[in-house]
Protein backbone atom coordinates (compact mmCIF):
# COMPACT_ATOMS: atom_id res chain seq x y z
CA UNK A 1 0.00 0.00 0.00
CA UNK A 2 2.84 2.42 0.91
CA UNK A 3 4.62 1.62 -2.37
CA UNK A 4 1.41 2.31 -4.29
CA UNK A 5 1.00 5.69 -2.57
CA UNK A 6 4.63 6.55 -3.33
CA UNK A 7 4.20 5.72 -7.02
CA UNK A 8 1.06 7.85 -7.26
CA UNK A 9 2.80 10.84 -5.64
CA UNK A 10 5.92 10.35 -7.79
CA UNK A 11 3.85 10.23 -10.97
CA UNK A 12 1.99 13.38 -9.97
CA UNK A 13 5.27 15.22 -9.41
CA UNK A 14 6.57 14.16 -12.83
CA UNK A 15 3.38 15.35 -14.54
CA UNK A 16 3.52 18.69 -12.71
CA UNK A 17 7.16 19.27 -13.64
CA UNK A 18 6.65 18.35 -17.29
CA UNK A 19 3.77 20.82 -17.62
CA UNK A 20 6.04 23.72 -16.67
CA UNK A 21 9.31 22.56 -18.20
CA UNK A 22 10.99 25.06 -20.51
CA UNK A 23 11.97 23.82 -23.94
CA UNK A 24 14.48 24.78 -26.64
CA UNK A 25 12.46 23.39 -29.54
CA UNK A 26 8.93 24.47 -30.40
CA UNK A 27 6.39 23.38 -32.99
CA UNK A 28 3.87 25.67 -34.67
CA UNK A 29 0.88 23.94 -36.23
CA UNK A 30 -0.49 25.19 -39.55
CA UNK A 31 -4.00 26.61 -39.46
CA UNK A 32 -6.36 26.83 -42.40
CA UNK A 33 -8.73 28.91 -40.26
CA UNK A 34 -8.92 32.67 -40.50
CA UNK A 35 -7.69 33.86 -37.11
CA UNK A 36 -9.48 36.93 -35.75
CA UNK A 37 -7.17 39.04 -33.59
CA UNK A 38 -9.53 39.84 -30.73
CA UNK A 39 -7.71 38.44 -27.68
CA UNK A 40 -10.19 35.57 -27.41
CA UNK A 41 -8.39 32.74 -29.26
CA UNK A 42 -11.70 30.94 -29.71
CA UNK A 43 -10.95 29.36 -33.11
CA UNK A 44 -10.76 25.57 -33.07
CA UNK A 45 -7.08 25.61 -34.10
CA UNK A 46 -6.13 27.21 -30.79
CA UNK A 47 -7.72 24.39 -28.83
CA UNK A 48 -5.30 21.93 -30.42
CA UNK A 49 -2.17 24.06 -29.97
CA UNK A 50 0.31 23.26 -27.21
CA UNK A 51 1.10 25.57 -24.31
CA UNK A 52 4.76 26.49 -23.79
CA UNK A 53 5.85 28.15 -20.52
CA UNK A 54 7.55 31.54 -20.27
CA UNK A 55 9.24 30.80 -16.97
CA UNK A 56 13.01 31.20 -17.36
CA UNK A 57 14.32 34.16 -15.34
CA UNK A 58 16.71 36.21 -17.48
CA UNK A 59 17.00 39.42 -15.42
CA UNK A 60 15.95 40.55 -11.94
CA UNK A 61 14.13 38.59 -9.29
CA UNK A 62 11.17 36.24 -9.34
CA UNK A 63 7.89 38.11 -8.92
CA UNK A 64 5.01 36.57 -6.97
CA UNK A 65 2.48 38.22 -9.28
CA UNK A 66 3.93 36.78 -12.51
CA UNK A 67 3.30 33.70 -14.64
CA UNK A 68 3.32 33.29 -18.42
CA UNK A 69 2.77 30.83 -21.26
CA UNK A 70 2.09 30.88 -25.02
CA UNK A 71 0.68 28.95 -27.98
CA UNK A 72 1.63 29.38 -31.63
CA UNK A 73 0.15 28.72 -35.09
CA UNK A 74 1.17 29.71 -38.63
CA UNK A 75 -0.33 30.51 -42.03
CA UNK A 76 1.08 32.17 -45.17
CA UNK A 77 3.61 34.77 -43.91
CA UNK A 78 2.20 35.08 -40.40
CA UNK A 79 2.87 33.54 -37.00
CA UNK A 80 -0.12 33.70 -34.66
CA UNK A 81 0.60 33.79 -30.94
CA UNK A 82 -1.71 33.56 -27.97
CA UNK A 83 0.13 34.68 -24.84
CA UNK A 84 -1.33 34.43 -21.35
CA UNK A 85 0.31 36.56 -18.67
CA UNK A 86 -0.56 36.92 -14.99
CA UNK A 87 0.61 40.32 -13.72
CA UNK A 88 -1.00 42.63 -11.18
CA UNK A 89 -0.42 45.84 -13.16
CA UNK A 90 0.54 46.98 -16.67
CA UNK A 91 2.95 49.92 -16.73
CA UNK A 92 3.36 52.33 -19.65
CA UNK A 93 7.06 53.26 -19.59
CA UNK A 94 7.10 55.38 -22.77
CA UNK A 95 4.90 57.90 -21.00
CA UNK A 96 8.21 58.94 -19.36
CA UNK A 97 10.05 59.08 -22.71
CA UNK A 98 10.22 56.89 -25.80
CA UNK A 99 13.73 55.72 -24.89
CA UNK A 100 12.22 53.85 -21.93
CA UNK A 101 10.17 51.55 -24.18
CA UNK A 102 12.03 48.42 -23.07
CA UNK A 103 11.41 49.04 -19.37
CA UNK A 104 7.62 48.78 -19.45
CA UNK A 105 5.40 45.73 -19.31
CA UNK A 106 5.72 44.20 -22.76
CA UNK A 107 5.83 40.99 -24.73
CA UNK A 108 9.20 40.59 -26.44
CA UNK A 109 9.35 38.27 -29.43
CA UNK A 110 12.78 37.24 -30.64
CA UNK A 111 12.73 35.89 -34.19
CA UNK A 112 15.39 34.88 -36.71
CA UNK A 113 13.60 33.67 -39.83
CA UNK A 114 16.70 31.95 -41.25
CA UNK A 115 17.77 30.50 -37.87
CA UNK A 116 21.20 31.99 -38.59
CA UNK A 117 22.29 32.26 -34.94
CA UNK A 118 24.35 35.39 -35.51
CA UNK A 119 24.62 39.03 -34.47
CA UNK A 120 21.62 41.24 -35.22
CA UNK A 121 22.41 44.37 -33.22
CA UNK A 122 21.96 47.35 -35.56
CA UNK A 123 21.01 45.08 -38.47
CA UNK A 124 18.01 42.93 -39.37
CA UNK A 125 19.49 39.44 -39.43
CA UNK A 126 16.98 38.85 -36.62
CA UNK A 127 14.51 40.91 -34.61
CA UNK A 128 13.69 41.60 -30.97
CA UNK A 129 10.19 43.03 -31.17
CA UNK A 130 9.00 44.83 -28.04
CA UNK A 131 5.21 44.69 -28.22
CA UNK A 132 3.72 47.27 -25.87
CA UNK A 133 0.14 47.11 -24.61
CA UNK A 134 -0.20 50.75 -25.67
CA UNK A 135 0.02 49.67 -29.33
CA UNK A 136 3.66 50.17 -30.33
CA UNK A 137 6.06 47.56 -31.78
CA UNK A 138 9.67 48.69 -31.23
CA UNK A 139 13.14 47.32 -32.01
CA UNK A 140 16.64 48.75 -32.40
CA UNK A 141 17.36 50.13 -35.87
CA UNK A 142 20.70 50.30 -37.72
CA UNK A 143 21.54 53.58 -35.99
CA UNK A 144 21.33 51.94 -32.56
CA UNK A 145 18.11 53.72 -31.63
CA UNK A 146 14.76 52.21 -30.77
CA UNK A 147 12.17 52.83 -33.47
CA UNK A 148 8.63 51.86 -34.38
CA UNK A 149 8.74 48.84 -36.72
CA UNK A 150 5.57 49.22 -38.82
CA UNK A 151 3.55 46.40 -40.42
CA UNK A 152 5.08 43.80 -38.09
CA UNK A 153 2.43 42.88 -35.51
CA UNK A 154 -1.31 43.23 -35.21
CA UNK A 155 -2.44 42.44 -31.69
CA UNK A 156 -5.16 42.73 -29.07
CA UNK A 157 -4.82 42.63 -25.28
CA UNK A 158 -7.69 41.66 -22.96
CA UNK A 159 -7.78 41.84 -19.16
CA UNK A 160 -9.59 39.57 -16.72
CA UNK A 161 -8.58 40.24 -13.13
CA UNK A 162 -4.80 39.95 -13.05
CA UNK A 163 -4.71 37.81 -16.19
CA UNK A 164 -3.91 39.41 -19.55
CA UNK A 165 -4.29 37.62 -22.86
CA UNK A 166 -2.36 38.87 -25.88
CA UNK A 167 -3.39 37.60 -29.31
CA UNK A 168 -0.78 38.52 -31.90
CA UNK A 169 -0.46 38.17 -35.67
CA UNK A 170 3.25 38.57 -36.42
CA UNK A 171 4.34 38.99 -40.04
CA UNK A 172 7.66 37.25 -40.72
CA UNK A 173 10.26 39.29 -42.61
CA UNK A 174 13.74 38.55 -43.90
CA UNK A 175 16.81 40.73 -43.39
CA UNK A 176 15.80 43.16 -46.15
CA UNK A 177 13.05 44.65 -43.97
CA UNK A 178 13.56 48.37 -43.37
CA UNK A 179 11.46 50.13 -40.71
CA UNK A 180 12.06 53.45 -42.45
CA UNK A 181 10.43 52.28 -45.68
CA UNK A 182 6.79 51.75 -46.59
CA UNK A 183 7.70 48.96 -49.03
CA UNK A 184 7.61 45.84 -46.88
CA UNK A 185 5.79 43.39 -49.15
CA UNK A 186 8.98 42.12 -50.82
CA UNK A 187 10.55 41.39 -47.44
CA UNK A 188 7.77 39.03 -46.35
CA UNK A 189 8.76 35.38 -45.95
CA UNK A 190 6.46 32.74 -47.41
CA UNK A 191 6.22 30.16 -44.65
CA UNK A 192 6.23 26.46 -45.46
CA UNK A 193 5.98 23.25 -43.46
CA UNK A 194 9.39 22.08 -42.29
CA UNK A 195 10.87 25.58 -42.06
CA UNK A 196 12.89 26.25 -38.91
CA UNK A 197 13.22 29.68 -37.34
CA UNK A 198 15.10 31.00 -34.35
CA UNK A 199 12.49 31.94 -31.76
CA UNK A 200 11.87 32.93 -28.15
CA UNK A 201 8.97 34.60 -26.36
CA UNK A 202 9.71 36.77 -23.32
CA UNK A 203 7.94 39.15 -20.94
CA UNK A 204 9.29 42.20 -19.12
CA UNK A 205 7.55 42.97 -15.82
CA UNK A 206 7.40 46.50 -14.42
CA UNK A 207 5.19 47.19 -11.41
CA UNK A 208 6.01 50.90 -11.33
CA UNK A 209 9.74 51.23 -10.57
CA UNK A 210 11.39 50.11 -13.80
CA UNK A 211 11.85 46.59 -15.10
CA UNK A 212 11.81 44.24 -12.13
CA UNK A 213 12.11 40.95 -13.97
CA UNK A 214 12.49 39.54 -17.45
CA UNK A 215 11.30 36.00 -18.15
CA UNK A 216 11.69 34.03 -21.37
CA UNK A 217 10.63 30.71 -22.81
CA UNK A 218 14.10 29.46 -23.76
CA UNK A 219 16.60 28.18 -21.16
CA UNK A 220 19.96 29.98 -20.82
CA UNK A 221 19.25 32.80 -23.27
CA UNK A 222 19.65 35.53 -20.67
CA UNK A 223 19.77 39.13 -21.83
CA UNK A 224 21.70 38.42 -25.05
CA UNK A 225 18.65 38.23 -27.32
CA UNK A 226 18.62 41.85 -28.45
CA UNK A 227 22.23 41.48 -29.69
CA UNK A 228 22.50 37.95 -31.06
CA UNK A 229 20.19 35.11 -32.07
CA UNK A 230 22.79 32.52 -31.05
CA UNK A 231 20.77 31.27 -28.06
CA UNK A 232 17.28 31.47 -29.55
CA UNK A 233 15.29 28.24 -29.47
CA UNK A 234 14.24 26.58 -32.73
CA UNK A 235 10.67 26.87 -33.98
CA UNK A 236 9.63 24.27 -36.57
CA UNK A 237 6.54 24.77 -38.71
CA UNK A 238 4.42 21.63 -39.11
CA UNK A 239 1.35 20.77 -41.16
Q: Which domains does the chain have, with CATH numbers?
A: 22-238 (2.60.40.1190)
Q: Closest Cα partner for 72 from 3, 187, 170?
A: 170
pTM equals 0.88
Residues 159-215 have pLDDT tens digits of: 999 999 999 999 999 999 999 999 999 999 999 999 999 999 999 987 767 678 999
CB atoms within 10 A of CB 156: 15
C-alpha 168/C-alpha 78 separation (Å) is 10
> Which pLDDT does position 7 carry in this prediction?
39
Q: What is the per-residue pLDDT across 18-57, written as a single tens digit (0 to 9) for each?
A: 345 677 999 999 999 999 999 999 999 999 999 999 999 9
Amino acid sequence: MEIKKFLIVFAAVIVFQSCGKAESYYYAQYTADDITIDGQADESAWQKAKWYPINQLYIGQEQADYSGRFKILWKNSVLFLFVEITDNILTNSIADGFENYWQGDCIEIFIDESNSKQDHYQNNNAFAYHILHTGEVIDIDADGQGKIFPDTANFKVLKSGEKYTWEIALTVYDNTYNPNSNLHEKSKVKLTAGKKLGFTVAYGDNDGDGRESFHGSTPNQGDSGYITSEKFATLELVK
